[in-house]
Chains A and B, each alone.
Chain A
Amino acid sequence: MPDRGIEDLLRTEAPQVLGAVVRRYGNFGTAEDAVQEALVAAAGQWPTGGVPDNPRAWLITVAARRLTDLLRSEQARRRREEQWRPVERPHLPDTDDTLILLFLCCHPALSPPSQIALTLRAVGGLTTGEIARAFLVPEATMTRRITRAKQTVRDHGQRFLMPPPAERAERLDAVLHVLYLIFNEGYAATAGPDLARPDLAAEAIRLGRLLHRQLPAEPEVTGLLALMLLTDARRPARTGPDGALIPMDEQDRARWDAGLIAEGIALVGDALPRGEIGPYQVQAAIAAVHDESPSSAATDWPQIVALYEVLLRVSANPVVALNHAVAVAMRDGPAAGLDLIAGLGNTLDADHRLHAVRAHLHAMAGDHAAAQAGFEAAAMRTMSLQQQRYLHRRARREADLASP
């Protein structure tokens, strides 16, 4: 039985330890392996032997020693030479190593799945096995993915530095996107029997808090953290006792987490006045309006429509347009929403959300046959078992209403 306190401590220390080891000895890829082994050693020894007085120093010492061994066996096999690319930017001594690690793991040369895996391991301190289980892939697959990712980072001249100022905004976007993907995978598992995998959502929030501590003045960092908190606040009400999905308008709002809502709303209030409006802040603002409403009917739909119109301006994509259509339907009635959806064309045809939304709007309009067909079409397009169950249940209800 793992000790939660020690496990939490190790996860917190992981990026600090890795940062210290890489800063001192270089060799990001091998150092990352060495730190993992130090974490495993600590997890094995500390519960019985006690936590050392200075856990971080202990971990750094053990990891550095392990790094020496790993490097020697590597170098016995091959001698590594690489061209040294000059870097014309000053070292920023007050930069937290965790932040550099996050940027390194979300390197633009990596695919999003690789960025996610590397971030969870190097910054989150999760083992390869844990990450593999979270994403429902065999451990060997995840091992290969992480190894290749580290190789790619190395090939791109792994320097333990912050990205140059000209690349900062773009690189930060990548970091935020990775955290958001981790959160979404935790909140709305895309495959498998469970609707949500709360560990991943919790991990994304933990990393989001960590990033926010480092960059408290970046409105989109604040926005993303707020968005995750305000979304996660609804998790207790989102599933029934049988694990089935409960849509927001049917949720028992008393079960929403008031603490997370208050924290998220405060963050939105902090980010919005800073001026630069970005998609995470707007989505957080939308989530805040929902979270503050005592019921679906009492929701301030005109405000939500207005916020979606802002969101369409800052980051137009078909899913945003779909959500905008829902808000318009809630404000003006289902016909207005269906008109907007018709304007979306076929871009989202493979996405279950398009079909589910259209079905809901047909149901609102009393067209039960169309609603039934829509829910069935949606069920065919989702990999999540719980979503499939919900959609089939709705399809049956509409079928009953269509032919009583």
Chain B
Amino acid sequence: MKYMIMMTGSQYDFDRLSGKADDALSGPEAAALYEFMTAWNQRLVESGEFVEARGLAAPVHTRRITLRAGVPVVTDGPYAETQEVLAGYTIVECAGFDRATEIAAQLTLAPGTPGDNWYVEVRPILEGAGDLDA
């Protein structure tokens, strides 16, 4: 069973990571975070549960396409600076939702995350149309 673990972040969170924000992560803090994430990822690889992981570019590099009066309209970077949007995801293949949740929950222990308001989400990935009935 596959699950997608979705990490969210605002433009501000990207700035903290890239060292731009006022309360940006210090060098050692950033290094600790990278180390944590690498180790988390590596454990999934070793357990055979890792499928794929991707990080997304900053929210400003977003195009939203909507249909207006029958014409596709592109809006560049449609997010407010503080809006939480998808920042990256990891797909795992594991025993079930509880195991996927356990894996995702480890991320809350990551150093340098924005604190109590930060969250990750896990959702099952459909393997076929039949899953919709499940």
Contacts and interface: CB of A to CB of B under 8 A. Distances in A.
B60 A81 contact: no
Interface stretch (B34-42, B72-80, B90-98, B102-110): B72-80
A29 B24 CA distance: 30
A12 B18 CA distance: 29
Contacts of A27: 76
B60 A72 contact: yes
Contact of A81 (B57, B58, B74, B81): B74
A379 to B, nearest CB: 55
B75 A26 contact: no
B60 A84 contact: no
Nearest to A65: B18
A303 interface: no
B76 to A, nearest CB: 5
B132 interface: no
Contacts of B65: 84
Contacts, number: 44
Contacts of B73: 81-84
Nearest to A85: B72
B91 to A, nearest CB: 23
A227 B57 CA distance: 46
A71 B60 contact: yes
B10 interface: no
Given A25-B61, A26-B63, A84-B65, A71 B77 contact: yes
B71 interface: yes
A54 interface: no
A80 B81 CA distance: 16
A81 B72 CA distance: 10
Contact of A71 (B18, B61, B75, B78): B61
A71 B76 contact: yes
Chain A contact-residue range equals 10 to 19
A75 interface: yes
Contacts of A65: 18
A76 B76 CA distance: 12
A80 B72 contact: no
The interface centre, meaning the residue of A68, A71, A72 with most chain B CB atoms within 10 A of its CB, is A68
Interface in B44-67: 57-58, 60-61, 63, 65
Contacts of A68: 57-58, 60-61
A89 interface: no
A4 interface: no
Given A27-B76, A75-B77, A83 B61 contact: no
B78 A79 contact: yes
Contacts of A72: 11, 60, 77, 81
Interface in A37-77: 65, 68, 71-72, 75-76
B73 to A, nearest CB: 5
Contacts of A25: 57, 61
Contacts of B61: 25, 68, 71
Contacts of B74: 81-84
Contacts of A82: 73-74
A81 B75 contact: yes
Contacts of B11: 72
A27 B61 CA distance: 10
B113 to A, nearest CB: 22
12 contacts: A26-B63, A65-B18, A68-B60, A71-B60, A72-B77, A79-B77, A81-B74, A82-B73, A83-B71, A83-B73, A84-B73, A86-B72
Given A72-B60, A75-B77, 6 more contacts: A27-B76, A72-B11, A83-B71, A83-B73, A84-B72, A84-B73
9 closest Cβ pairs, A-B complex: A84-B72, A75-B77, A80-B76, A81-B75, A71-B60, A84-B74, A72-B60, A68-B58, A25-B61
